[in-house]
Structure 1
Amino acid sequence: MTDLHTLWLTETIRLREEHAGALEDSQANRLARNAGGDLPSRIQARASWLAERDGLTAALRHWLQGARLALLVLAVLAILSGAGLAFAALGDGQAPVNVFWALGSLLGLNLILLLSWASGLILAADYGATLGRLWLWLSEKLARDAKAAHLAPALLLLLQRHKLNRWLLGLLVNGLWLVVMLSALVMVLTLMATRRYGFVWETTILSGETFVALTQALGALPALLGFSVPTEEMIRASGDAALNLESARQAWAGWLVGVVLVYGALPRLLLTLLCLWRWNRGRAGLQLDLKLPGYAQLRERLMPSSERLGVSDAAPERLHQVESASSALHSDGALLVAIELDDQRPWPPALAKNVKDAGILDSRESRQKLLEQLTRFPPARLLIACDPRRSPDRGSLALIAELAQSASATRVWLLQAPPGQALDADRLGDWHAALQQLGLPFADCAPMNWLESGHD
């Protein structure tokens, strides 16, 4: 993941939260605070964790694969288009080639669209954006990932904010037209090498002097690169009929190839390099706009001046599947923790020396303190004790999920009822269903062998 990809995912998360509401991000905020750094770094760390959890990172990879395939499709179309221009300009060799009709066929559309793109660049207009929208549309279709819906809009917003969209679009447009012109040149050379062409010019209202001056003016720059230019006698003679002289055919062929190269391919090459340079320079300066509401409201959560109390976000309708976040971290030891136990049962039970007791979590402060500690020192094994006489509310299940994400392996211990009491079967079934949804193993007896040694 490059810096651009991280910024892209951060903007995607902001756009997603702007449209669908705030995400459940308590674990992401803790990890971002623990990572340290300035506010932009913490915002990006938070977004990276959320993107990995919600599948946006994989969707970005799929989108990039689709973008490469879309670019390959457009490049193939450009090659075929260039070959088609060459066939349309030269024909099958049965009839003489009108040099200026051929030149118009090879350069006309290219020059018109080149002027259109240049005027759009100067006037900050949206000329030529159709090709960019086609590329984005093809990229999304070829990605085949429903989670990639916010990726293209997020990229456009990120680039427009720094005025980089014109250079990325220019790189795409000029690069594809360079492929068209190079394909046309290769096909022109192939046709001229395998067929015999005669060249003429025709007019009704213009004089021969006009064609002589125009031919020599267009051939001046190619002549500096070594391309041949027909002499004045050859130009005048070609106005009556195609010359059957080999030198005249070679002179006209060299002139046509030189003009297409200098006025068709070379400007596109220079503009492609210019756009690439501006794109690389602007990409290095990309940064988050912290004035946006989606980022401004994260300041207190990621760089708090004091700890907040109370619920900051509504509980999600469906809890996420628990995936251990400590696999890449150093995890060690075993930990036992209980959630909201009353004083009717003795606690903690007898524990081995290598098992630590984290106590009973019965307040917001104790929960936050333990979660912060687990973020820095994740245990290898975590056993969570719960009282199944209580209902499995969303707050308790969310806490269990957050605790489990901080450990390499987690199990839930559903305690037996105290003497003289019995567990409610329906409520116990609710606990089983909820823990199965979380994907956590559970049992009604303490798995002490597993907690102490790592196996049963």
Structure 2
Amino acid sequence: MTELTPLQNLWLTETIRLREEHAGPLDDLEANRLARTGGGDLPSRIQRRARWLADRDGLTPALKHWLHGARLALVLLSLFAVLSGAGLAFAALGQTPVNVFWALGSLLGLNLILLLSWALGLVFAGEHGATLGRVWLWLSEKLARDAKAAQLAPALLLLLQRRKLNRWALGTLVNGLWLLAMLSALIVLLMLMATRRYGFVWETTILSAETFIHMTRTLGSLPALLGFNVPTVEMIRASGDAALDIESARQAWATWLVGVLVVYGVLPRLLLTLLCWWRWNSGKAALPLDLNLPGYAQLRERLMPTSERLGVNDPAPAQLHRVDNSVGELTSEGALLVAIELDEQRPWPPALPKSVSNAGILDSRESRHKLLEQLSRFPPARLAIACDPRRSPDRGSLALIAELARNAGATRVWLLQAPPGEALDADRLGDWHVALQQLELPFADCAPLNWLETGHD
């Protein structure tokens, strides 16, 4: 298994819960057994079960694809923010001479309006950045290019909404992108001012000069605390008629414009990005699994039972799952012969070589559970499973065969001959062949004792 973060494990667990809520219970016999074997409290067992099911059903790779798409979507949005910020700077200095308040509106107007909207949404509605968040989620799904990834976004939103972490996650995204746009505008503004000579004026039809003087001095009071120059009253008054061809006046206006952009554009977005990032990280670390949800509450008895239960309780799956060995990297040794539900008329076991162990006949839940627990700790290199083809290949027997095979290095199924004087039903034998072919397990009607002993036929 690839390593996942705690949030990603919770995310997969929530995705599995939603799948079972809408499509019905999954085939989880082995997942439940492995979750019980691993021990721990109920949340850890639920997450272990969900991780196994996610790996089996392809949700873990889908999560990786979704995250890759999310990163690519974030890169595209960041590029858009940089270009937008540069466009704001070019628009601000596009006039000759530069109207200082028109330039200020171009640089800060949209930013301040959306910042106010964000703050009001945070206080009153608890949701903000919905449009930009939906764009990011939509881009993430499109760029993931995985059909199973479509189930992940709703699960993530539901998971985060329980502790209202979505507001801080989207807040980090929104304010971070605006911070990038403001920084881009600031850098382009400085580059333009460093390479070109600009004159600054202010113009009005209905307002008085004293109004502009007061507005300029008021807006420049906070930047002045950080060392940015503010034009004098005489400079402000003189700039109402024409751009002053004085070096000190041009520098004073340019410094004032840069200072206002830094204080009212860059710094608020920077502080809000850091705040949202801190709240997101602290909340993410303490995000729990909500055991009161119906999908998790019904797993309690299966994963932490008062008495262990084995057997088939779930509806049949659309098709049998392939047997993928998970013990290839583990230490597996020895050979084992086991039989499933043989009647008392058949002598058992046959004469076995000394190197082959007999696991007996699995005819009860207790015996099945005991053997599966043993195989999960000490998987054999070779396993032969004897079955009576006079019985129908029911779902419970096939699920047990698949579980046994997953816990062995190599597996063969032995379809026993009928007792003397009795014939096998051809249709039922054909059903066994079809079922075992779906499981991709080799089978034969003769004892694989030589293979069990030596590994060769």
**TM-score per shorter chain, which class?**
over 0.9
**Pairing 1:146-185 to 2, within 5 Å after superposition:** 146-185=147-186
* Residue of structure 2 equivalent to 1:79: 82
Cα displacement (A) at 1:310? 5.9
Cα displacement (A) at 1:124? 3.3
Q: Judge which range, 141-150 or 264-273, deviates more.
A: 141-150
**Pairing 1:173-212 to 2, within 5 Å after superposition:** 173-212=174-213
**1:203-259: CA deviations, max 9, x gaps?**
111111111111111112222222222121111111001112222212111111111
* Residue of structure 2 equivalent to 1:53: 56
Cα displacement (A) at 1:407? 1.7
Cα displacement (A) at 1:9? 0.8
Which whole-Å CA distance do the structure 1 matches of 2:414 and 2:101 have between them?
87
* Residue of structure 1 equivalent to 2:313: 312
Aligned to 1:112, the other structure's residue is in SS state: helix
Which whole-Å CA distance do the structure 2 matches of 1:154 and 1:324 have between them?
30
* Residue of structure 2 equivalent to 1:30: 33
Q: Percent identity?
A: 80
Aligned to 2:27, the other structure's residue is in SS state: coil
**Pairing 1:53-452 to 2, within 5 Å after superposition:** 53-91=56-94, 95-308=96-309, 311-452=312-453
Correspondence for 2:8 among 5, 9, 12: 5
Aligned to 1:407, the other structure's residue is in SS state: coil
Question: Letter of the aligned partner of 2:171 in structure 1?
Answer: G
**Are the counterparts in 1 of residues 312 and 396 from structure 2 also a CA contact under 8 Å?**
no
Aligned to 1:379, the other structure's residue is in SS state: coil
> Does 2:21 correspond to 1:15?
no
Cα displacement (A) at 1:335? 1.0
Cα displacement (A) at 1:102? 0.6
Cα displacement (A) at 1:455? 4.0
Which whole-Å CA distance do the structure 2 matches of 1:29 and 1:154 have between them?
22
Cα displacement (A) at 1:424? 4.1
**Are the counterparts in 1 of residues 335 and 380 from structure 2 also a CA contact under 8 Å?**
yes
**Are the counterparts in 1 of residues 128 and 171 from structure 2 also a CA contact under 8 Å?**
no
**1:47-106: CA deviations, max 9, x gaps?**
111111111111111111011011011001111111111111111x6x211110110011
Which whole-Å CA distance do the structure 2 matches of 1:212 and 1:334 have between them?
93
Aligned to 1:359, the other structure's residue is in SS state: strand
**Are the counterparts in 2 of residues 339 and 362 from structure 1 also a CA contact under 8 Å?**
yes
Say what the alpha-carbon RMSD is for the aligned residues: 1.7
Which whole-Å CA distance do the structure 1 matches of 2:219 and 2:258 have between them?
12
Cα displacement (A) at 1:121? 1.1
Cα displacement (A) at 1:364? 3.1
Cα displacement (A) at 1:394? 2.1
Aligned to 1:336, the other structure's residue is in SS state: strand
Q: Judge which range, 25-34 or 411-420, deviates more.
A: 411-420
Gaps of 5+ in 1: none
Question: Letter of the aligned partner of 1:51 in structure 2?
Answer: A
Which whole-Å CA distance do the structure 2 matches of 1:451 and 1:406 have between them?
16
Question: Letter of the aligned partner of 1:153 in structure 2?
Answer: P
* Residue of structure 2 equivalent to 1:453: 454
Aligned to 1:412, the other structure's residue is in SS state: strand
Cα displacement (A) at 1:317? 2.6
Cα displacement (A) at 1:109? 0.5
**1:135-185: CA deviations, max 9, x gaps?**
111111111111122211111111110111110010000000001101111
Which whole-Å CA distance do the structure 2 matches of 1:423 and 1:250 have between them?
101
**Are the counterparts in 2 of residues 30 and 375 from structure 1 also a CA contact under 8 Å?**
no
Which whole-Å CA distance do the structure 2 matches of 1:453 and 1:389 have between them?
29
**Are the counterparts in 2 of residues 341 and 387 from structure 1 also a CA contact under 8 Å?**
yes
TM-score, normalized by length of structure 2? 0.95
**1:187-215: CA deviations, max 9, x gaps?**
11122222221111001111111111111
Which whole-Å CA distance do the structure 2 matches of 1:354 and 1:232 have between them?
101
Which whole-Å CA distance do the structure 2 matches of 1:135 and 1:228 have between them?
40
Which whole-Å CA distance do the structure 2 matches of 1:238 and 1:117 have between them?
36
**Are the counterparts in 2 of residues 384 and 412 from structure 1 also a CA contact under 8 Å?**
yes
Which whole-Å CA distance do the structure 1 matches of 2:113 and 2:349 have between them?
81
Which whole-Å CA distance do the structure 1 matches of 2:267 and 2:126 have between them?
24
**Are the counterparts in 2 of residues 315 and 395 from structure 1 also a CA contact under 8 Å?**
no
**Are the counterparts in 2 of residues 66 and 140 from structure 1 also a CA contact under 8 Å?**
yes
Question: Letter of the aligned partner of 1:441 in structure 2?
Answer: P
Which whole-Å CA distance do the structure 2 matches of 1:455 and 1:64 have between them?
46
